[in-house]
Structure 1
Amino acid sequence: MKIKLQLKPDTIIALDRLLEMLWDLPVSLDKRENVYKSIGYDLAEKFSSKAKSIIKKANLFETKTKAISLKYHEAWALEIIINELLEHFPDKNEYRKSLLTSLSNNLNQKLA
């Protein structure tokens, strides 16, 4: 089962920046948290490559959305990761925080 998302370049870059924080988290004894991290590492690599390609093709007026397809478990974990990281490491940039919150809400609706 796949979840299809249409994301703006700004959202992909904001998500890439947030997922970079996963690499700095310490190892946990909680199995559930380790599952989230494991899926999160895969997602971090996926969105990092997307963000890099967007930055290489930098166009200030680019508003096209990018189609991204996630497996159900990836979308499920991504929603949880976004909420947890925003809670523990609040973003000072309100625009990025708004983009990520909107993405989390969108994932929640698609997963329901």
Structure 2
Amino acid sequence: MQKVKFELKNDELSVINQIIENRINQQSLPTPETKLVESIIYELADKMLKKFITERMNVKAFKISLKYHQAYALHFILRDFQQVESKNPYINMVVLKIANQIHEQL
């Protein structure tokens, strides 16, 4: 199975975890695409939270590897978040950076 790899820093991973958590708590229209993402989101959230715990003391960027379907779900969530757009420019920059890193490999 194809893996998607990209680099993150702790603060960027924290932003991603917050976005995933918000998405889990959000009600969405039941389209086939959103149903697919929702079926993957808990697996993705678990993996990202474990990575955050293991890398919490790391000050350097670290690599993360996701299965293709996990990367697709994360990319979908990030692109969906971009439609809403946060008032915080740092969060917007992190979302754009990571979404682009994933998109290059999808």
Fold in common (TM above 0.5): yes
TM-score of Structure 1 vs Structure 2, range by shorter chain = 0.7 to 0.9
Equivalent residue number for residue 86 of structure 1: 82
The residue type equivalent to 2:90 in the other structure is: Y
User: Is 1:44–2:45 an aligned residue pair?
Assistant: yes
Aligned structure 1 segments of 4 or more residues deviating by more than 6 angstroms: none
How many angstroms apart in 2 are the aligned matches of 1:53 and 1:12? 12
Offset of residue 54 of structure 1: 4.2
How many angstroms apart in 2 are the aligned matches of 1:91 and 1:12? 16
Query: Superposition RMSD on alpha carbons, in Å?
Result: 1.9
Gaps of 5+ in 2: none
Contact persistence 2:13–2:52 (CA under 8 A): yes
How many angstroms apart in 2 are the aligned matches of 1:70 and 1:9? 17
Equivalent residue number for residue 105 of structure 1: 100
Identity between Structure 1 and Structure 2 (%): 29
How many angstroms apart in 2 are the aligned matches of 1:30 and 1:23? 16
How many angstroms apart in 2 are the aligned matches of 1:107 and 1:25? 23
Under a length normalisation based on structure 2, what TM-score does the superposition of the two structures give?
A: 0.84
The residue type equivalent to 1:103 in the other structure is: I
How many angstroms apart in 2 are the aligned matches of 1:15 and 1:94? 14
Under a length normalisation based on structure 1, what TM-score does the superposition of the two structures give?
A: 0.80
- Larger Rg, first or second structure (1 or 2): 1
The residue type equivalent to 1:93 in the other structure is: N
Contact persistence 2:4–2:68 (CA under 8 A): yes
Q: How many residues matched?
A: 105
Offset of residue 17 of structure 1: 1.0
Gaps of 5+ in 1: none
